[in-house]
Structures are given as C-alpha cells and as structure tokens.
C-alpha cells in the first residue's frame, strides 16, 4: 500500500468501430433532401380568418388575408408615432423642470 503513489489505473477503452459505409454520407445535401424528403417549404400559421407565412425573418400576411386591416395597421402606426413624439416632448419638459428646480 503506497503512501504517495497513485494506484488507480483505469482500463483502456476499446477502439471505436468504423463509421457507417452508407451512401448517404457521400452524397451532397441537395441529393439527400430529395431522397429523404427534407423539403419543408416556408412555415405557415393559420389563425381564424388570417394566414401568415415566415419569410426573410419576418411573419408576412399571405395575399388577400389582411386586405381590410392594412388601413387599420397604418392608422395605428401613425398614432403610435405621434404618441412616441409626445412622450419624448414630455420627458424633455420634465428634464428641463428638474434642472430649473435644482
């Protein structure tokens, strides 16, 4: 029983088996997609009355599904812009008043 020696000696692991010789490893991606059916297309979501699809990192309404809502969206965007400008103005006024008080 050694005092300072290391008596722990793990067994050697067996060598790994060789990789699969399947022809799928040697074909390019487009052939694998065709053979395995990996063409998914664009993701789509169907909500009641609306249909959206994911393109270029954004959800886009499919043609004709939001025909009446475009005007409403533009109106809401304009209102949102007005409220943001008003909020910035009020913050500036508060900042000026605080400077006057101090």
Q: Is 9 contained in some domain? A: no
Q: Is 51 contained in some domain? A: yes
Are 53 and 44 contacting, i.e. CB atoms less than 8 angstroms apart?
yes
Number of domains in the chain: 2
CA distance 56 to 75: 25
Are 61 and 52 contacting, i.e. CB atoms less than 8 angstroms apart?
yes
Q: Is 5 contained in some domain? A: no
CA distance 64 to 53: 13
- Cα atoms found within 13 Å of the Cα of residue 54, Cβ hemisphere only: 7
Q: Is 14 contained in some domain? A: no
Q: Is the Cα dihedral 18, 24, 26, 28 positive or negative? A: negative
Structural domain range at position 33 = 21-63
Chain segment 42-84, per-residue pLDDT in tens:
788 888 877 888 888 888 887 655 555 677 888 999 999 999 9
**95 has pLDDT over 60:** yes
Q: Is 11 contained in some domain? A: no
Q: Is 1 contained in some domain? A: no
* pLDDT band, very low/low/confident/very high, at 23 (cuts 50, 70, 90): low
For residues 50 and 78, membership in a common domain is answered with: no
Residue whose pair of structure tokens reads 């040697």 in the numeric block: 26
Q: What is the pLDDT of residue 39?
A: 63
For residues 34 and 56, membership in a common domain is answered with: yes
Query: 3-class DSSP state for residue 52?
Result: strand
For residues 43 and 70, membership in a common domain is answered with: no
For residues 50 and 73, membership in a common domain is answered with: no
Q: Is 41 contained in some domain? A: yes
For residues 25 and 59, membership in a common domain is answered with: yes
Q: Is 95 contained in some domain? A: yes
């Amino acid at each position: 029983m050694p005092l300072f020696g290391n008596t722990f000696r793990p067994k050697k692991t067996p060598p790994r088996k060789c990789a699969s010789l399947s022809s799928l490893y040697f074909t390019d991606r487009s052939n694998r997609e065709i053979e395995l059916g990996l063409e998914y297309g664009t993701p789509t979501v169907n909500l009641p009355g609306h249909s959206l699809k994911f393109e270029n990192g954004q959800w886009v309404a499919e043609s004709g599904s939001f025909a009446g809502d475009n005007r409403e969206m533009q109106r809401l965007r304009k209102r949102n812009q007005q409220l943001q400008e008003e909020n910035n103005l009020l913050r500036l006024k508060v900042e000026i008043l605080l400077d006057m008080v101090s």
